[in-house]
Amino acid sequence: MSTITLCEKRKAFLKQDGHVLVTGGPGSGKTTVALLKAAAATHSLKPGEEILFLSFSRNAIQQILQKSQDLLNRVERSLIRVQTYHAFCIELIESHGRLLSGRPCKFVVPGEERIRKAGFNGQWNSERERMAKQESVFCFDLLAPGAADLLEKSTAVRTLLTSKFPMVICDEFQDTDDDQWRIVQALARSAALCCLADPEQRIFDYRPNVSPLRVQQLKEKLAPADFDLGGENHRSPNGGILQFADCVLQNRAPLPKTNDVKFSTHHGKDLDAVFHAATVWAFGELRRRGVQHPSVAVLCKNNKFVATLSTILQTPHTLKGHTYQPVE
């Protein structure tokens, strides 16, 4: 296991009882301190109790599990249940969903839902809601509403769940939708809540039921102890890349100077060749750094420009006497 030296702020976080909120950007250590807090809590658990750690994707779950291998011992890891929000909802509805309609619950996977929707004449969203309420057949997007209804309407189910999980950690809390927020509030009635959030990184803010005010709502509703790790970056502590990204996101000048960011300028007609060369260089640089299967993200300000750059990469270009072949 890794040995970590904690600052006074993080020590205070580990000692804090009740609901807590940890905010900060990528690399600030939110997941690390949450796992350390969970590990400390495992030593006071009663037989049968566990810590619940919720995140959004299977990839995020794997990262959390890998970090727990580095930080926690075997017994501590065995007492922390790491799940996606959707997996948690499926288990809850599968176990207690009969209380909603009196019928055993069934689930429709996204592929099957697309087939049903294609053959349905009418308002599919209304049909999905009818299926859930009357037939206990749940499509993927209705798992969270069903789980929230269960926890809000049944004190017995809520008490049973929080007696199993006296502490619940919510990763990427800023991306919770309205129904996931209902779930969090229901669990917080009798479980200690630890929310991890990066207010500047809302992946799902395009969805109408994901509020940009979610972190503020948490503060107003549950009054958690607030620990701000913003401005700290332990993944690239000397690169200045976090400060650079913050300036870009907030449209703030001047941009900080850092060796981890390279600028390539072009003059009108040179865009195609300069962009193609820069992309090829990025792949080459990653390989030189030991990345066996590198990938490069290209961010654009609109969809039209995305199409333009995609077309550029599919055509050979020559810059300063060197020809760059199409990029897959």
Q: What is the pLDDT of residues 99-125, one digit of tens each?
A: 998 999 999 999 999 999 999 999 999
- Whole-angstrom distance, CA of residue 25 vs CA of residue 198: 5
Q: Which residues are within 8 A (CB) of 165 and not within 5 positions of it... i.e. 6 or more apart?
A: 49, 50, 51, 52, 81, 187, 191
User: pLDDT at residue 261 above 90?
Assistant: no
Mean pLDDT of 120-139: 94
**Closest by CA position to 232, among listed 30, 38, 4:** 30
What pLDDT shows up at residue 98?
Answer: 93
281-308 mean pLDDT: 90
List phi, psi (to 5°) of 314.
Answer: -95, 5
3-state SS, residue 130: helix
Residue 147 vs residues 92, 119, 152, 188, 286: alpha-carbon distances, Å: 6, 28, 9, 15, 43
Residue 10, pLDDT > 70, answer yes
- Region for 172 from its dihedrals, namely left if φ exceeds 0, alpha if ψ lies in -120 to 50, beta otherwise: left
Q: For the residues 132-147, what does the mean pLDDT come to? A: 94
Interatomic CA distance for residues 212 and 218, integer angstroms: 12
pLDDT, mean over the chain:
91
Q: What is the structure's pLDDT at 249?
A: 76
| pLDDT class of 303 with cuts at 50, 70, 90 | confident
The answer to whether residue 208 scores a pLDDT higher than 90 is: no
pLDDT value at 230 more than 80: no
Residue 223's pLDDT is 97
The answer to whether residue 236 scores a pLDDT higher than 60 is: no
Distance CA 242, CA 237 (A): 9
Q: Please state at what angle helix 178-187 crosses helix 143-153, rounded to 10 degrees.
A: 30
Sequence-distant (≥ 6) Cβ neighbours of residue 172 within 8 angstroms: 55, 56, 60, 196, 197, 198, 203
pTM: 0.75
Give the pLDDT confidence score for residue 113 in this predicted structure: 94
Percent of the chain with pLDDT over 90: 71
Residues 6+ apart with CB under 8 A from 10: 29, 33, 36, 227
Residue 235: pLDDT over 60: no
Confidence at residue 237, expressed as pLDDT on a 0 to 100 scale? 58
The pLDDT-based confidence of 232 (bands split at 50, 70, 90) is low
Give the model's pLDDT for residue 265: 87
Average pLDDT on 138-150 reads 95
Q: What's residue 234's pLDDT? A: 53
